[in-house]
């Protein structure tokens, strides 16, 4: 949730930029010798500017399903308490129990309000929150979770790697005033569980682009990009939702642009299939209820693209097949994935019910897991 609130909630905003940050300090326009790592974050790329997704993109959908689950429980509790108040008033009039129930209703109302605010961070908002790096004027334009546009000078940013409590590390870009107090902050899209060379490589990808002086420099940056994610023109496809929601279930993120070389599927994904399905469904709901963001006209005027720009990767994608709609074979594969995920999710739920039933005293309860698979295997025919 770092920085995801409507008020750009970074714990460091308003605090002094401490010297311990210098341990992982990164200097704008100062080259470091690390391989460039775009990490599937590029929305637009050309000679004038480069636009990336926000750092919440790969985890999008998690908030939706988790908060909807809690919200359904809260609404059930609200309905139950309200019904009990109705019954109690008709029986015994207003008493201590009624006061207790009214307090519970007020608490649940508060929970519902908080849950709805958290859901609003992914539903009925923007499909992504773009970070645009203008190489020619050295500016960075950021649309935050509050939908406001902020402008930064790349050369004046204090940049370091940071992490909130129980959160992955990210490359934190801070606007610090003359007194050394952090006024505004944004993060580069890619995050990692620890300080790692890929974080340095992700920073250097952006830094090398902003530092590019000629076509040779631009060519070096462009050659590191394989995936273009053109969601500035359209909403992401189902194929893209499946691919991006799966990325966190791999344990080697050295270069997500070339998964066949560096990514290895984590065997724990088998256990996490129900959670992946919920995340995918939450992501699709989030995308369908949100709208595409646009920068104001005065910023677009500063970001004009040469119609004959040889580095416009949106016109000339590195691998055109990657942004084409899913083929028939891919659609069949995704349908099979969803069916397997649904079966796995229902099986896990049935096993949990069976375990709870086995713990209850007295009675021989039927196995829901067996009943479920009897239905799937058509043994009822």
pLDDT digits (tens, 9 = 90+) for 323-364: 888 888 888 888 888 888 888 888 888 887 777 777 766 656
- Compare 337 and 316 and report the one with higher pLDDT: 316
In terms of average pLDDT, the best of 254-258, 300-304, 374-378 is 300-304
Beta-sheet pairing, 182-192 with 139-143: unpaired
- Compare 262 and 49 and report the one with higher pLDDT: 49
How far are the Cα atoms of 45, 172, 202, 355 from residue 191, in angstroms, in the given order?
21, 10, 9, 37
Q: What is the mean pLDDT of the chain?
A: 85
- 174: part of which helix (H) or strand (E)? strand 169-176
Q: How confident is the model at residue 380 (pLDDT cuts 50, 70, 90)?
A: low
- Pair 96, 193 in one domain: no
CA 215 to chain centre: 33
CB 42 within 8 Å of CB 229: yes
φ/ψ of 80, rounded to 5, equals: -65, -45
Beta-carbon-side half-sphere exposure of residue 231 (alpha carbons within 13 Å): 27
Q: Is the pLDDT confidence value at 70 over 80?
A: yes
- Pair 133, 101 in one domain: no
Q: pTM for the complete prediction?
A: 0.84
CA 262 to chain centre: 21
Identify the DSSP state of 80: H
Beta-sheet pairing, 149-153 with 42-45: unpaired
**pLDDT value, residue 23:** 77
- Pair 38, 134 in one domain: yes
Where is the domain boundary, 96, 119, 142?
119
Q: How much is the average pLDDT of 158-171? A: 86
Helix (H, G, I), strand (E, B) or coil at 341: helix
**pLDDT value, residue 35:** 92
- Pair 90, 141 in one domain: no
- Pair 221, 351 in one domain: no
CB 173 within 8 Å of CB 157: yes
- Pair 35, 45 in one domain: yes
- The C-alpha atoms of residue 217 and residue 211 are separated, in whole angstroms, by 8
Domain of 217?
19-61+123-325
Q: Is the pLDDT confidence value at 138 over 90?
A: yes
φ/ψ of 299, rounded to 5, equals: -75, -40
**pLDDT value, residue 210:** 97
**pLDDT value, residue 266:** 67
**pLDDT value, residue 326:** 83
Q: How confident is the model at residue 114 (pLDDT cuts 50, 70, 90)?
A: confident
CB 373 within 8 Å of CB 380: no
- Count of domains forming the chain: 3
pLDDT above 90: percentage of residues in the chain: 40
**First-to-last C-alpha distance (Å) of the chain:** 49
């Amino acid at each position: 949730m770092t920085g995801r609130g409507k008020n750009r909630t970074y714990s460091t905003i308003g605090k002094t930029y401490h010297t311990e940050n210098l341990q992982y300090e990164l200097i704008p326009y100062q080259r470091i010798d690390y391989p460039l790592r775009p990490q599937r974050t590029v929305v637009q790329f050309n000679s004038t500017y480069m636009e990336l997704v926000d750092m919440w993109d790969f985890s999008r959908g998690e908030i939706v399903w988790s908060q909807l689950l809690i919200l359904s429980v809260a609404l059930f509790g609200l309905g139950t308490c309200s019904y009990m108040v109705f019954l109690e008033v008709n029986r015994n009039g207003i008493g201590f129990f009624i006061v207790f129930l009214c307090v519970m209703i007020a608490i649940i109302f508060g929970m519902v309000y908080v849950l709805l605010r958290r859901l609003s961070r992914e539903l009925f908002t923007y499909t992504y929150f773009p970070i645009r790096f203008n190489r020619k004027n050295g500016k960075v334009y950021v649309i935050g979770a509050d939908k406001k546009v902020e402008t930064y000078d790349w050369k004046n940013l204090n940049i370091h790697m940071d992490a909130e409590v129980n959160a992955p590390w990210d490359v934190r870009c801070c606007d610090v005033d003359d007194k050394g107090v952090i006024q505004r902050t944004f993060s580069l899209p890619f995050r990692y569980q620890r300080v790692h060379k890929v974080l340095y490589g992700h920073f250097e990808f952006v830094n090398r682009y902003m530092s590019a002086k000629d076509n040779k420099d631009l060519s070096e940056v462009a050659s590191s990009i394989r995936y273009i994610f053109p969601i500035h023109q359209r909403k992401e496809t189902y194929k893209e939702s499946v691919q991006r929601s799966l990325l966190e279930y791999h344990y080697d993120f050295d270069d997500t642009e070339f998964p066949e070389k560096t990514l290895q599927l984590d065997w724990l994904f088998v256990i996490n299939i129900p959670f992946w399905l919920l995340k995918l469904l939450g992501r699709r709901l989030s995308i369908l209820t949100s709208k595409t963001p646009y920068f104001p006209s005065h910023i677009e005027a500063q970001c004009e693209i040469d119609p004959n720009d040889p580095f416009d990767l949106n016109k000339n994608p590195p691998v055109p097949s990657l942004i084409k709609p899913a083929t028939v074979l891919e659609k069949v594969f995704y349908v099979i994935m969803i069916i397997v995920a649904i079966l796995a999710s229902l099986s896990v739920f049935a096993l949990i019910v069976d375990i709870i039933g086995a713990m209850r005293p007295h009675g021989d309860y039927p196995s829901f897991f067996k009943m479920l698979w009897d239905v799937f295997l058509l043994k009822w025919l």
